[in-house]
Homo-oligomer: A and B are copies of this chain.
Amino acid sequence: MPNGIKVPMPTLERLANYLTIFSDLKIRNVETVSSADLESRAGINAAQFRKDLSYFGEFGRPGIGYNVNELQARISRILNLQKTQSVLLVGAGNLGAALAGYHPLRTENFQIVAAFDNNPNKIGKQLWDLTIQDIDEIISVNKVLQARIGIIAVPASAAQETAERLVSANVVNILNFAPTFIRIPSNVTVRHIDFLQELAVLSYYLPEDD
Contact = CB atoms under 8 A, between A and B. Distances in A.
Interface string A11-22: 011011101110
A102 B95 CA distance: 8
A30 interface: no
Contacts of A201: 9, 12-13, 16, 79, 191
A108 interface: yes
A98 B108 contact: no
**Copies of this protein in the complex:** 2
Interface in A125-140: none
A108 to B, nearest CB: 5
A130 to B, nearest CB: 14
Interface stretch (A45-53, A65-73, A113-121, A176-184): A176-184
Nearest to A198: B191
Contacts of A101: 94
A198 B172 contact: no
A207 B99 contact: no
Given A17-B181, A43-B183, A108 B200 contact: yes
Contacts of A197: 13, 16-17
Given A15-B200, A93-B98, A174-B202, 19 more contacts: A13-B201, A17-B197, A79-B200, A81-B200, A81-B203, A85-B206, A97-B98, A99-B195, A102-B195, A104-B195, A105-B195, A110-B199, A110-B203, A148-B206, A148-B207, A173-B203, A189-B205, A191-B201, A193-B195
